[in-house]
Every structure is written in C-alpha cells, then in structure tokens.
Amino acid sequence: MSVSAVSRESTQQRMRICVTGVAGFIGFHIARQLLNQGHEIVGIDSLNDYYDVRLKLDRLELLKHEPKFQFYEIDLASRKVTDGIFAEHRFDLVLHMAAQAGVRYSLENPHAYAESNLVAFLNVLEGCRRSSVNHLVYASSSSVYGDSPKLSLSTCDPVDHPISLYAATKKSNELMAHAYSHLFDLPTTGLRFFTVYGPWGRPDMAIYKFAEAICHGRPIDVYNYGKMRRSFTYIDDVVEGVVRVARQPPARTSDNNPPYRIFNIGSDESVELEQMIVLLEQALGKKAIRNHLPMQAGDVLNTCADIKDLREAVGYAPATTLEEGIEQFVQWYLKYNAR
C-alpha cells in the first residue's frame, strides 16, 4: 500500500480485527498490513501440517513481537472453542482466511475440507451473528468457476458445476454467507482469489514448487503440456484489495437484496504457464527440466479475473507485473532458504 493510503487509513477508527488463518500466506500478509496501520489483531490458526509448519511458525514470529497482536492456536471446527473466542473478544471486523486449501489434496483427504471449510465456516458465521460483527470478509476461490469455457470470469457467471471438492466447499461458503446475510443482516463479502503468489507463499503452489525443483535440479511437472493459463496475482495487490473491501461493508438495499456481495480479486491479465516458467528461469538464473504431463483431475484450463466490479466499488487496481512479482518472490525464496 502506498504511503498516502496508509496516511488516509491512519485517520480512520482503530478496530479490533480477527484474522483467521493468520499463519497462512494471505492471512499473515493481511495481519501485518493492518498492524502497521495501528489496528488490534487477534490471530487464529490451527497450524495444521498440510505443508511444513516451520514456514507458518516463521511467519508468526514476524507478528508476535507486535504489541497489538494476540495469537490463538485453535481449530475453528471446534464449536465450543470458537464460541469462546467470539464471546471473549468483541470484534469489529472478521477476516476469515482460514481454510483447507488445494485442489489436488481434496482428492486425497476430502474429510479435511468438510471440517475446515464447512463446519469451521459455520462456526465463524455463528460467532459473527451472535456478537454482531460489523463485517465478515471471507476467502472464496476462482475454483468455483469450474472448467468454464470463458477466459474472463465474472461474478455474474454461473458457478453451479464445481470440478473439485475444494471448489464445492468454497461455493458452499458463498451460499452459507448469503443465508446469514439474508436472515440476520450480517454484512458479508466473499473474495474469489485468483492464483496468489509472492514472498512467504505456500509451498504447494506452482511458483514455489517450480522454484524449489529448479534450484535442486529436479524436473517440474507441467500439466496439460503447459497449455494452461492463470491470472497470477501478487500478494501486495491482494492485500490492498482486501483492506479496501474490509473498510466498506455492504448494506441491505431491499428485502431481496441482503448485505451480501462477491468480488473477484486477482489480475485481469491471463498468462500461459510456460511464460511463468520462463520468468522463473530468468530470475533464478537456471533452466528448468520440464516433465510434460496430461491434464490432472480437478484442474481447470484457464483463469482470468474480471475485476470491473471490484474496481468500481473500491478502486482496486493491481499494480505488480508478473515479472516484478516473480523477481520479488525469488529474492525472498533464496534468502529464506539460505538460512
């Protein structure tokens, strides 16, 4: 965020904000930005072992020294524990970034998605309802669009045919949020993230996995022979969008229009997978060994975010090119892994 934007934010009311998934990639960056703006952050994370917990702990170390940061290691799927957190703290805003992520992992461990993405989300909705939270912003996913034939994906497009359990749970979150917005006037905003990457990124994401394989001279698995396109979105642009959205809760406009909305949050430029690999090679100064494979179950061919609604609502405009973003990621990756 620019200095002027931070300055504008400093004039606004300080809030007590709950950030779930705070040791995760997106939650960590959001919490750090909000702490810099002077807000009080209550961070929640189960620290599960879906990927190396050491990375989550290292992210947490950068937050724990902040005097306005409190951390709870809890599983939001526990109704009693989640109820206790909401009863203890009166949150102005809840940013629910916690989820069981990953399309391919949902083929191996489907029950993890039911617990983390459905049961836990219901508990968060109930906590927000009971404590009259001003705004719930939650993570959805571009995966809800399924294998759409369209290149530019709009929130007006149908999302009734998910092709992975992960996508089905994220669509379910949107439906559950709508019900709570309609029944209880709980302002909710769902954000469909598009292929977020950058420093402190998840090791299961393609850019991180490819960088690691290239550095160690191992082949990279390139699905659909590289003929896939993605709307790669740099983490700083995502954080800027989330913070802007969080400041503006939706309002009920009529009986049939509850305080509910959905936005795409991503880059409106779609890049072929091969182009991303070439940029990684250039940043790392080393060639990749490509292992070309057919399409994998659950994957989609193309994603590109139509962000017109988000741009009009909050002035969102991603500013980081893929070249710049990959260079920043590689600099962090090499430094982090050289320790």
CB contact set of 278 (below 8 Å; sequence gap of 6+): none
Residue-wise burial string across 60-80, b where 16 or more C-beta atoms lie within 10 A, e elsewhere: beebeeeeebbbbebbbbbee
- With 0-12 / 13-18 / 19 or more C-beta atoms within 10 angstroms meaning exposed / middle / buried, residue 107 is middle
Q: Annotated catalytic, 138? A: no
Q: Which single residue is written with the structure tokens 């617990």? A: 115
Count Cβ atoms below 10 Å from residue 203 Cβ, excluding itself.
13
Q: Are 92 and 65 a contacting pair, CB within 8 Å?
A: no
> 179: helix, coil or strand?
helix
Catalytic residue among 166, 197, 234, 260: 166
Task: Give the span between the Cα atoms of 197 and 59, in whole angstroms.
Answer: 15
Identify the CA nearest to 199 among candidates 226, 230, 239: 239
Q: What is the largest CA-CA distance in the chain?
A: 59
Supply 280's token pair: 């990684």
- With 0-12 / 13-18 / 19 or more C-beta atoms within 10 angstroms meaning exposed / middle / buried, residue 275 is middle
> 168: helix, coil or strand?
helix
Q: Are 177 and 138 a contacting pair, CB within 8 Å?
A: yes
Distances (CA, A) of 270 to 51, 176, 201, 247, 302: 27, 30, 20, 28, 8
Residues annotated as part of the active site? 166
